[in-house]
Amino acid sequence: MSKTTDKVMHVTDATFDDEVIKSEVPVLVDFWATWCGPCHMVAPIVSDLSVTHEGKLKVAKVDVDACQKTAIRFNIRSIPTLLLFKDGRVVDQIVGAQPKAKIVAAVDRAL
């Protein structure tokens, strides 16, 4: 699990629209599952971004097993998948465990 000092919020099918779609700032959403090894490789990067970009970027996690409606809605076929939302729309997508530099570059483009 992420370290306790991070600012990652866990969103559900019920809270996704309020926390992500209606957000005033860009949102990085990590679609993951507890059993997914590559998801655990990406988790520290996502956690770090939630701290280093606090105030400019929201960071959220969606457990695809618990939130299947949201995973289906955004056509999540493999995990980890990171979606970047801006103004309620997906502006970038990263599939699979990727290097921190690639994820940071995508976030910076969205800001």
Catalytic residue among 36, 46, 49, 107: 36
Q: Helices marked H in the chain — which ranges? A: 16, 37-52, 68-73, 100-110
67 is catalytic: no
Q: Is 36 a catalytic residue?
A: yes
- For residue 27, give the 3-state DSSP assignment: strand
39, 43, 67, 83: the active-site residue: 39
| Pairing verdict, β 58-63 and 27-32 | parallel
Backbone dihedral region of 85: left (phi > 0), alpha (psi from -120 to 50 degrees) or beta? beta
Q: Give the residue among 67, 61, 66 at the shortest CA–CA distance from 80.
A: 61
| Catalytically active residues, by annotation | 36, 39
